[in-house]
Amino acid sequence: MEDREQFHEFVKRHARGTLNDEVTMALAEVAASVSDLEKKGSVVVTIVVEPAGSGGRTVAIGAKVEAKLPKPDPELAVAYVGDGGSLHRDDPYQTKLDDAKRVEQDASSPKRIDEGDEG
């Protein structure tokens, strides 16, 4: 292929090697996150080439690296739907026990006797 610079050489050279460093770090970050969450991610390298002056022989090259990490699933919570779509943590249609009506254990309830104690 004629006298063209190989892509990997461009990445190593561009911006004094910082593009190579950024891609390397982004790939490691995405790989670790994919491993943890078991979901896919990606590394996107965008290279922009634009004219840099008159004459058409000079260009400016910019590169951007973006790590697209997988996102964890949101934490779920159970809710009950009440009138008009209102959400409740407790079932709004469940009958509530009044605190005064709760059954309390009294002193005359049976007591546990250990096997070694016979009375």
CA atoms of 85 and 79, how far apart (whole Å): 11
Measured from the Cβ of residue 61, the count of other Cβ atoms closer than 10 Å reads: 13
Residues 75-97 have pLDDT tens digits of: 999 999 999 999 999 988 888 77
Q: Which pLDDT value is given to residue 107?
A: 53
Give residue 33's Cα distance to chain centre.
8
Q: Which pLDDT value is given to residue 94?
A: 85
Grade residue 108 by pLDDT with cuts at 50, 70 and 90.
low
Q: Is the pLDDT of residue 100 over 50?
A: no
Structure tokens at 119: 């009375």
- Average pLDDT (108-118) is 63
What is the Cα gyration radius of the chain?
A: 34
pTM assigned to the model: 0.63
Measured from the Cβ of residue 89, the count of other Cβ atoms closer than 10 Å reads: 9
Picking from 41-45, 53-57, 112-116, which range would have the lowest pLDDT averaged per residue?
A: 112-116
- DSSP 8-state code for residue 53: S
State what percent of residues in the chain have pLDDT above 70.
Answer: 81
